[in-house]
Amino acid sequence: MTCFKPSAVPPPVSVVFEDGSYAYYTLAPDTGLWGRIKGTARDRFGNRVPESREDVANGGFAQYIFPDDGAADMTRFVYHLNGLGVSVSAGGETVTVCGGTRLACTSAGGGPVICKIVQM
């Protein structure tokens, strides 16, 4: 019988990229290869970076916040969502609260993911 040895599992490592985004990686003891831990990727604003179409709405609803200086980041994020097969459209009314832009995404019962851009 093989026993689990916590000391044999290396701790996760945070990797911060030049653009300020980050993710956590771990070393697989059996292969010696580094791999990203699913669900840990974040952009420089702390928004979760979805890895699949199903991840975009996080099982029902997710919002992604981009401050006033984050327009280029939001554009790259929308391209990423498009690459996952998710369309993004302009939302309804504009409400000025703190500035910036919110991207709100919903999905119900395995249906399509709907994302709208809403000014804050």
Ordered by start, the domain boundaries in the chain are: 9-42, 54-119
Predicted structure pTM score:
0.79
Q: How many CA atoms lie within 13 A of 80 on its CB side?
A: 15
pLDDT exceeding 70 applies to what percent of the chain? 88
pLDDT on residue 98: 61
The pLDDT tens digits for 59-117 are 899 999 999 888 889 999 999 999 999 999 986 655 444 678 899 999 988 789 999 99
Q: Which residue has the higher pLDDT, 96 or 3?
A: 3
